A and B are shown apart, each in its own frame.
Chain A
Amino acid sequence: MMTKDHKYRGPGGNPYLPRLATITKLYPETPNIISLHVALNDKKEMAGFSFEPGQVAQLSLFGAGESTFVINSAPKQKDYLQFSIMKAGEVTSAFHELSVGAQIGLRGPLGNCFPYHEFGKKNIILIAGGLGLAPLRPLMFHLLTERRKYADITLIYGARTPDDLCYLSDLDDWEDHGNVKIIRTIDREVPGWGYKVGFVPTIVSQVAPAPKNTVAVTCGPPIMIKFVLVELEKLGFEPHQIYTTLERRMKCGLGLCGRCNIGPKYVCIDGPVFSLAELKKLPNEM
């Protein structure tokens, strides 16, 4: 999918070295997620930076360390890259302490992308939970730039509570101007919530998208993905019609440090996007 030309070369040809970047905007997305706009300090590099939906970058906050995040801005956006960071451990917590102007490091783009060029003329159903919408966001932006190439686009998006839903204004925008059908859900009933209630996999089975001429793309917490895959297969989706992104503990992002493997595949270079057909060939070690 990604060819060798897309390798991250790094300053001086050292792929472990990040490029310097600045946080140009920072705002809370949910109570424990912030979104950042990041611009490479080198203007020319920023303008020349291109990535595909689904690709990630390694962000460094020196002293705390480096972590993997999906680039979730529109691929067309050339002024900055957007990331959303959930507070989890050392590095992510340190990012939550930053403010605009902070200097960080960025390595990327890394990893493969969604094979959207195979989606032409098809119905597309996107299924996301919580911050799992992040990798689907650039994909949606991309699909909408050439909206006419695709048939129906549906997004099933759930979170634990209404507060945990990300990118709310995008959702409205896609619904109003993008000809996208959006189904919102939360885990438990909350007063004033006018949409669906229930876990994402349950909603998938309720909505029951027809598998014919359709591809499904899902991303979210591992447990959600697991059950969504089950539901989709029950609905008659073939493994090659289903795509998901996987998470593994990562360090190098280059296929060298060893830790992110599932059998012979490395999530950092062979993923994070996998079709269910590909996953079925791998040892069962989720």
Chain B
Amino acid sequence: MPKSITQDKLADWLNRISQKYQLWASQEREGISLLSPYQPEAGFTLERIPQLSAKGVLFPQSECMLKYCYKKDPDNPEQTDLSLEGVEPHLKTVIWGIPPCDVAGINFFKHVFTGSGYHDPYFKARHSECLIVALACQQPETTCFCTAVGGSPVESPGADLLLTRIDHEYVVEAITPKGAELIDEDLFGMPEEKILKVVEQAKKSACKSLEAPFKLESLPVTADKMLKVFESPHWKEATRACISCGICTFICPTCYCFNMADEAQGMCGERLRCWDACMFPGYTLEASGHNPRLAKFQRYRNRLSHKFSYLITNNQVLGCTGCGRCIKECPAGIDMRRIIAHLLKEV
């Protein structure tokens, strides 16, 4: 049975969660909403979808993979010994108040980082101890298109709890038993029957308000079609304005590419992994100077082909959750919805 909590009790709820877990909630910071470690004095916001997706909680922008230390052998100065230490994160975490497309992003990460190939131990460790509280979207933004890529603004598989706001009340549905444990009885009540009806109504109208910018067929057909348009001149046409920045990839809930690099401090140091982006020219630059994706249209083509074709072939998932961030924040006004729609019409 769903429970409900009134707006004025949310802060209490968050305070309690934050005593047991590391809690991430959106904070208003300099005009943007940013998912941040919760601090009671800084408050929280549920007004807009967070500027950056939730991926950074489980896949931080910079993460230490290992620490190393070279030490001179005191008995034999010629000899230098090396020691190595893996670093594995263990933290019970709650990510609170994220939209369903961000939850979908985390589900996506499960496929690529803990799927059939090699597993990523860092993500796995973080993910296994993480609970997710999703918030249904009732007024999607103009750039949202989750329903076109198999998502929903109001359902959130993969989350542990789902909140739906009705005026000053939040109806809470437990999706998993672990999620149910986050519901402290004394803060929550039973929603009235009529509220539940309003919730249903609100959910329906949210879905209706989303227009599909393109219609995808089955995943394999989509993968195949996108491969067929690889040589289309449209890639070049549509991406002339691109400035090859990292915005669309860094803010995307599914882009997972990373760089590995060492940072030394004297004889010791760490190996870091940091977000990288296939939109950067240096991403594929080889030591010889050869670069298989030198032109920006090639890089953009890789980005969308990865999302709408390669990932389907390799992991049976689509690499886009329809959050629209890459459209909203692109400095050059590049709208991937239009590009996909155009390309799909070519085959």
Residues of A within 8 A of B (CB): 7, 11-18, 20, 60, 62-66, 88-89, 92, 101-105, 221-222, 247-249, 251-252, 254-259, 261-264, 269, 283-286
Q: Which residues of A contact B259 (CB under 8 A)?
A: 251, 257
Q: Which residues of B contact A12 (CB under 8 A)?
A: 86
User: Which one of B79, B118, B285, B293 lies within 8 Å of A254 (CB-CB)?
Assistant: B118
What 1/0 mask marks residues of chain B from 77 to 95 whose CB sits below 8 Å from any chain A CB? 0111110101010000000
Q: Which residues of A contact B78 (CB under 8 A)?
A: 101
User: Which one of A11, A20, A66 lies within 8 Å of B82 (CB-CB)?
Assistant: A20
Q: Is the CB of B82 within 8 A of A251?
A: no
Interface of B is mostly: mixed
Which 8 pairs from chain A and chain B are nearest by CB? A258-B257, A88-B287, A103-B82, A63-B264, A264-B310, A254-B118, A62-B68, A264-B313
Closest chain-A Cβ to B281's Cβ sits at a distance in Å of 11
Complex CA distance for A89 and B288, rounded to whole angstroms: 9
Judge whether B333 is part of the interface by a CB distance below 8 angstroms: no
Residues of B within 8 A of A (CB): 65-66, 68, 70, 78-82, 84, 86, 88, 112-113, 117-121, 227, 230-231, 256-262, 264, 269, 271, 273, 276, 278, 283-288, 290, 292-293, 298, 302, 305-306, 309-310, 313-314
Q: Is the CB of A263 within 8 A of B84?
A: no
Q: Is the CB of B117 within 8 A of A62?
A: no
User: Which one of A64, A254, A258, A269 lies within 8 Å of B276 (CB-CB)?
Assistant: A258
Q: Which residue of B lies closest to A266 (CB)?
A: B314
Q: Is the CB of A269 within 8 A of B117?
A: yes
Closest chain-A Cβ to B55's Cβ sits at a distance in Å of 14
Q: Is the CB of B66 within 8 A of A88?
A: no
Complex CA distance for A36 and B241, rounded to whole angstroms: 47
Complex CA distance for A95 and B274, rounded to whole angstroms: 24
Complex CA distance for A284 and B302, rounded to whole angstroms: 12
Q: Which residues of A contact B120 (CB under 8 A)?
A: 256
Known pairs A11-B86, A257-B260, A261-B306; A89 contacts B287 (CB<8 A): yes
Q: Is the CB of B314 within 8 A of A248?
A: no
User: Which one of A66, A103, A286 lies within 8 Å of B70 (CB-CB)?
Assistant: A103
Q: Is the CB of A283 within 8 A of B70?
A: no
Closest chain-A Cβ to B347's Cβ sits at a distance in Å of 14
Complex CA distance for A14 and B87, rounded to whole angstroms: 10
CB<8 Å pairs between A and B, sample of 6: A20-B84, A222-B288, A255-B117, A256-B117, A263-B230, A285-B292
Q: Which residues of A contact B261 (CB under 8 A)?
A: 65
Q: Is the CB of A88 within 8 A of B288?
A: yes
Q: Is the CB of A247 within 8 A of B84?
A: no
